[in-house]
Structure 1
Amino acid sequence: MASPRAHALTRRLLTAGALAGPLFVAVFTVAGSLRPDYDQLRHPVSSLALTGAGWVQIANFLVAGALLIALAAGMRRSALLAGRARAAAWLVGAAGVGLLGSGAFVTDPVSGYPPGAPDSIEYTPIGAVHDAAALPVFLGLPAACVVLAVWALRARRPLLGAYSLLSAVAGIVLLQISSTGFQQDPAVVDVAGLYQRATIAVLLGWTTVVALVLLRAEPAERREEAAPE
């Protein structure tokens, strides 16, 4: 059995992971509202890394990535998850690495931001790496949702299972709509940023819920250990 100190470390990792989504969303929302000529309905979150104030969003990527990696470590250590369910931890960790890569490699301009940039994206090598780094986030997290949904349903946790499955479906659908908008589809180009933000909120919201569910299980395990036989 794990020691109380080991449980304490697991709780700290899960607590850090629970902060990833709320902090990331809060920072890019505030940063976007303060940025001249930036339209949060139209422009992608990654575009906040452009221009002189771009360091704020770069730091946001890096911090959120580190917090997701902490969550992945906490999931691996969790007493609640076992067997194949822990594959979800690897996928969450990959998403964390993807966020680190998104911060290290800045995106290319799109949808006319910064002012004077073309609407259609013109890829550079750095911008292409940025988009590749985003794949573990936007595809890895829905996969993690599915893995955890299967485990939760088998473990007779129907609410968590249904929520995880719905998060996966919503994340993929919203991602497809936002991607179509960033490709300048006139039907959704002006709200592509909104759909991308909804995608991020759904997927990172799921990581927060999972962290809290696992965090709640840790004290229970510790009390069980301490109880006399």
Structure 2
Amino acid sequence: MTTLRHTDARADTTTGLLLGCGVLAGPLYLVTGFAQAFTREGFDLTRHPFSFLSLGEGGWLQIANFVLCGLLFLAAAIGLRRTGGVGSAVPVLIGLFAVGMIGGGVFVADPAFGFPAGAPEGQPAELSWHGVLHGVAFFAAFPALVAAFFVLARKLTGPWARASAAAGVLSLAPMPFMGTEVGTVLLYGAATVAWLWVSAVLAKLRSES
């Protein structure tokens, strides 16, 4: 019995560490991204998404931000699978989101909208293969995270359920405006809500595991 208790304790500790990776990932991604956005010359939050920070001198930092935070969320997805408390769909969706983040770092966006210096003032005339894959990574990752919020709204109870549904709705707000300055600003708001909320939910589940 003592050995069994020790084994269970180690399993609980490992699960807690995995979930803790996701708790850290959301704030880390946002703090690192906004710190660069306010310090990189020529970067404009009304025109340029975080993806553009991967370009030009110093772009390695945002690439690392994507990949590291993606790996942390992937660890959290494994932790969610181990807990079993939110069903089987949420770990898969968070895992897909994590893989998309990693892909967003590995495959960089194409220079556009004047960033970095010398880039076309609008969209590039032709997309590169890595620019296409970057877009695929985004359109796989973000919808998966939003879907996870709506599933969590059914799995959680009380204010947590309602807040998860609200986070899902707010995350969808930029979609009709994509490609415009309004859409870019709304996307930052949606990303802030989404990344912080998923970390908050993981913190709750970690405290209960």
- TM-score, scaled relative to structure 1: 0.83
Partner residue, 2:123 = 120
- 1:28 has 2:48 as partner: no
Describe the superposition over 1:125-156 as per-residue Cα deviations: whole angstroms up to 9, x where unpaired: 1100001011222110011111111122xxxx
Shift of 1:41: 2.6
Are residue 174 (structure 1) and residue 185 (structure 2) matched?
A: no
User: How far apart are the structure 2 equivalents of 1:72 and 1:9?
Assistant: 13
Q: Secondary structure at the match of 2:173?
A: helix
Which structure 1 segments of 5+ residues have no match? 182-188, 219-229
Q: 2:77 matched to which residue of 1?
A: 72
- Match of 1:71, as an amino acid? A
Q: CA deviation at 1:86?
A: 2.5
1:44-63 aligned within 5 A: 44-63=49-68
* 1:115 to partner: Cα distance: 2.7
Q: How many pairs were matched up?
A: 202
Residues 171 and 58 of structure 1, relative CA distance in 2, 3 Å threshold: same
> Match for residue 223 of structure 1?
none
Q: Is the 8 A contact 1:69 1:97 kept in 2?
A: yes
Which structure 2 residues correspond to residues 113-152 of structure 1 after superposition, within 5 A?
113-118=115-120, 119-121=122-124, 122-152=126-156
* Offset at residue 111 of structure 1 (A): 2.2
Measure how far apart 1:79 and its partner are. Answer: 5.3
Q: Is the 8 A contact 2:94 2:144 kept in 1?
A: yes
1:62-119, CA deviations, whole angstroms, 9 ceiling, x for partnerless residues? 01100110110111112533xxx32111100111000110110010123221233221
Cα distance in 2 for partners of 1:6, 1:140 equals: 28
Structure 2 counterpart SS, 1:11: helix
Note closer, same or farther for the CA distance 1:206–1:136 as it changes in structure 2 (3 Å cut).
Answer: farther
Question: What's the secondary structure of 1:34's corresponding residue?
Answer: coil
Q: What is the match of residue 221 of structure 1?
A: none
2:18 corresponds to: 13
Provide the residue aligned with 1:43 in structure 2: 48
1:101 aligned partner, one-letter code: G
Residues 150-161 of structure 1: pairs in structure 2 closer than 5 A: 150-152=154-156, 157-161=157-161
d(CA) in 2 for partners of 1:131 and 1:108? Answer: 10
- 1:206 aligned onto 2:197: yes
Aligned partner of 1:163 in structure 2 is 163
Mapped contact 2:173–2:186 kept (Cα < 8 A): no
Q: Distance in 2 between matches of 1:60 and 1:26?
A: 10
Shift of 1:175: 3.8
3-state secondary structure, aligned to 1:57: helix
The 8 Å contact of residues 175 and 183 in structure 2, kept in 1 or not, is answered as no
State the alpha-carbon separation in 2 of the partners of residues 195 and 49 from structure 1.
20
Whole-angstrom CA distance in 2 between matches of 1:8 and 1:29: 32
1:6 to 1:70, Cα distance in 2 relative to 1, 3 A: same
Letter in 2 for 1:180: G
In 1, distance between residues paired with 2:130 and 2:159?
Answer: 41
Matches of 2:104 and 2:98, distance apart in 1? 10
Aligned partner letter, 2:42: D
- Tell me if the contact between 1:42 and 1:192 (Cα under 8 Å) persists in the aligned partners: no
